[in-house]
Amino acid sequence: MSCSSSSRLLLPRRAPASGVFAAVERDTRALALSDAERFNYYPATPLAVVSWIFEGALHPVQMVGTVTGEPALSAPLPRLTLAGPQRRPRASWSPGPVHALSVAFRPEDLARLAGVRGTALMDGIAPLAEVASRAFLDACLSVFEGSDAGPFARVENALAPLWRDARPAAPAPFLGEWLRGLAGTAVLSGAGQGLRQVQRRIKAWTGQSHRDLQRYSRVEDAMARMSAHRRDGGIDWAGLAGGAGFADQSHLGREVRRVTGLSPARLEARIAQDEAFWFYRLLGEHVRRP
């Protein structure tokens, strides 16, 4: 578990398994944040995310950087939502203190747990009650009612019985590890084991091609290397690009911009200076390898 003053990155217990990939809990009730500091910026992701809002409200941000400098906000999110994989970075804003938990699932695991393909909500978000099975919805609703443990522990406890009926799995805390396992499963599934058949299975399960999914893994590796370079006192962008599997520094810039909306240098500056980029700081801690 990684911590900051108001947010925590949580990884699943190995037993009992629950199908969870990872989770983030954000609690600003003890903080005095400005309007600008109550934004929340997130990268594109191949994962599906279920979110609980325990206190406060969150508005999806439709547009930032307009002529007036004011964001365009949509209606507040329901207290329990499902977001499908997002191919573009996104943002939200809270008008006051908020306590929320977001739990990420591999799309293929969510389909087993909830009876809904995360890919059906590609780039979208919906109230969980409108899309999930009754059993999964009831398990998620029970998280609001419990008080004997923290929210994430309640999620894992509620989902464990459903997951035991699905299949056993070991946690894969990095996107790269998930993709390697996914490719192996695709090779062993079905009669056809040719490259095109494997690629079709991966796209059917995740909604994205294996090539597109590899972008997330490379950017994850780049973020780990950014953390390491930062600790060493500076970032060698060309060396970082080569080490993370990019063709060159320009390739690194294009891929990072597609996932985060910012150039690597600009992203690094926002992570260091901007409270609204708290999620990226948590990711930096998570992907930091020995």
Least confident residue range of 37-41, 129-133, 183-187, 227-231: 227-231
Residue 18, number of CB atoms within 10 A of its CB:
26
Domain boundaries, the chain: 2-164, 175-203, 210-287
Q: Under a CB-based contact definition with an 8 Å cutoff, are residues 103 and 50 in contact?
A: yes
Cβ contacts of 174 within 8 Å, gap of 6 or more: 217, 220, 287
Confidence class for position 282, pLDDT limits 50, 70, 90: confident
Confidence class for position 230, pLDDT limits 50, 70, 90: low
Least confident residue range of 34-38, 124-128, 207-211: 207-211
Question: Is pLDDT at 131 greater than 90 in this prediction?
Answer: yes
Q: Which residues pair with 101 in a beta bridge?
A: 25, 52
pLDDT in tens, 59-73: 999 865 444 456 788
Cβ contacts of 150 within 8 Å, gap of 6 or more: 25
pLDDT at 233: 64
pLDDT in tens, 80-95: 999 999 999 999 999 9
The residue type of 105 is F
pLDDT at 200: 86
pLDDT at 39: 95
Of all residues in the chain, the percent with pLDDT exceeding 90 is 48
**How much is the CA Rg of the chain, to the nearest whole Å?**
19
Q: Is domain 2-164 annotated with CATH 2.60.120?
A: yes
CA distance 269 to 277: 10
pLDDT in tens, 144-203: 997 777 999 999 999 988 887 555 555 556 788 888 888 888 777 765 667 788 888 888
Tokens matching residue 224: 């780990």
The residue type of 204 is A
Tokens matching residue 163: 């997951």
Instruction: State the pTM of this model.
Output: 0.88
pLDDT in tens, 178-192: 888 888 887 777 656
Check residue 263 and give left, alpha or beta (phi > 0: left; psi -120 to 50: alpha). beta
Question: Is pLDDT at 19 greater than 50 in this prediction?
Answer: yes
Q: For the residues of 192-246, what is the DSSP string, one character each?
A: --SHHHHHHHHHHHHSS-HHHHHHHHHHHHHHHHHHHHHHTTS--HHHHHHHTT-
